[in-house]
């Protein structure tokens, strides 16, 4: 009987695997197609400066408008794009599109605004990364200091040498980097100091319970102090309410980002209204 059970569960398992493989293959084909057919859009979420209360930058967040499945979020397709290497051509599109949109944002906000773009680990291993970025900067004539790349601690630690080399080369162009989801990985401050990283983005998991969990509050304050002593600035991600704004401002956090201010929106939203109005009407 045990054998029978094993047998049936085995066939069930293999059937599942098969379905999974088929779905994956399907999605991979569609992803390839979608890059060609421009089914992607970058939405932008504002970052607010705690000292002025005004917009100081945006983060680009990728969306896939699938003709049949509808809106797909990064968690639906970024892992597969990374596994298949399709993140490289997709990332090239993101770089060009964000530079094009950055130009529009600079028109409204001036050159002190910054545009942050997420990069996957695989993109740092792409030999064309530097060429694509410098070409995009030149093509749209955007100042490199307005562009910031976000990478996660985990990404940075995957192949430290390759990531460090790419970062240093891009750093020489004037581009800055921030460490995303900070506090969830294992990077050392000594290591951070050697790379052109200017900002730590404290992970949402520490921000969400900051007013009820003393440990989280202590961690955020400690990261902020240490970062400031090392000349790094601090962004809190996932800010959803006024109580969080208050405590994070009191702690000395430099910038805030989250649904409290705005979800990610199309670039035209920033261009149609004045930025004061955009932030002002949501707060």
Residues near 165 by beta carbon (within 8 Å), at least 6 away in sequence:
none
Options 8-16, 103-111, 256-264, 272-280: segment touching ligand C2E (CB under 6 A)? 256-264
Distance (Å) of CA 66 to CA 33, 71, 80, 199, 211: 11, 6, 15, 34, 39
Rank residues 105 and 119 by Cβ distance to ligand C2E and give the closer one: 119
Strands (E), 146-243: 147-152, 176-182, 197-202, 233-236
Where on the phi/psi map is residue 44: left (φ > 0), alpha (ψ -120 to 50), or beta?
beta
Options 20-28, 164-172, 220-228, 235-243: segment touching ligand C2E (CB under 6 A)? 235-243
Options 2-10, 69-77, 90-98, 236-244: segment touching Mg ion (CB under 5 A)? 236-244
74 binds, among ligand C2E, Mg ion, none (CB under 5 to 8 A by kind): ligand C2E
Rank residues 74 and 174 by Cβ distance to Mg ion and give the closer one: 74
- Candidate list 55, 56, 58, 62; residue touching ligand C2E; CB under 6 A: 62
238 binds, among ligand C2E, Mg ion, none (CB under 5 to 8 A by kind): ligand C2E
Shortest CB 264 distance to ligand C2E, Å: 5
Beta strand 70-72 with 55-66 is antiparallel
Distance (Å) of CA 260 to CA 85, 111, 273, 280: 35, 25, 18, 12
Q: Contacts with Mg ion in 91-130 (CB under 5 A)? A: 118
- Candidate list 17, 73, 226, 243; residue touching ligand C2E; CB under 6 A: 73
Coil, strand or helix: which one is 204? helix
Distance (Å) of CA 114 to CA 147, 233, 278: 6, 14, 16
Binding site for ligand C2E (CB under 6 A): 45, 60-62, 73-75, 78, 87, 94, 118-120, 150, 180-181, 204, 237-240, 258-259, 264
């Amino acid at each position: 009987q045990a054998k029978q059970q094993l047998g049936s569960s085995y066939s069930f398992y293999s059937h599942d695997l098969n379905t999974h493989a088929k779905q994956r293959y399907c999605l991979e084909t569609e992803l390839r197609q979608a890059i060609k057919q421009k089914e992607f859009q970058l939405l932008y979420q504002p970052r607010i400066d705690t000292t002025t209360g005004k917009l100081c930058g945006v983060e680009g967040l990728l969306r896939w408008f699938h003709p049949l499945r509808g809106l797909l979020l990064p968690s639906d397709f970024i892992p597969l794009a990374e596994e298949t290497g399709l993140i490289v051509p997709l990332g090239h599109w993101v770089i060009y599109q964000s530079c094009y949109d950055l130009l529009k944002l600079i028109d409204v906000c001036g050159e002190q605004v910054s545009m942050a773009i997420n990069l996957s680990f695989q993109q740092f291993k792409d030999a064309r990364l530097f060429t694509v970025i410098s070409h995009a900067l030149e093509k749209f004539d955007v100042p490199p200091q307005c562009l910031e790349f976000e990478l996660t601690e985990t990404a940075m630690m995957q192949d430290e040498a390759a990531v460090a080399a790419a970062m240093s080369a891009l750093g020489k162009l004037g581009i800055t980097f921030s460490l995303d989801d900070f506090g969830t990985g294992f990077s050392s401050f000594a290591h951070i100091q050697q790379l052109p990283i200017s900002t730590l983005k404290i992970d949402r998991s520490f921000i969400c319970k900051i007013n009820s969990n003393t440990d989280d509050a202590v961690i955020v304050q400690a990261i902020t102090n240490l970062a400031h002593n090392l000349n790094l600035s601090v962004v809190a991600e996932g800010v959803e309410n006024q109580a969080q704004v208050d405590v994070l401002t009191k702690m000395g956090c430099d910038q805030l980002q989250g649904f409290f201010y705005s979800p990610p929106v199309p670039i035209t939203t920033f261009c149609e209204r004045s930025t004061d109005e955009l932030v002002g009407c949501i707060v």
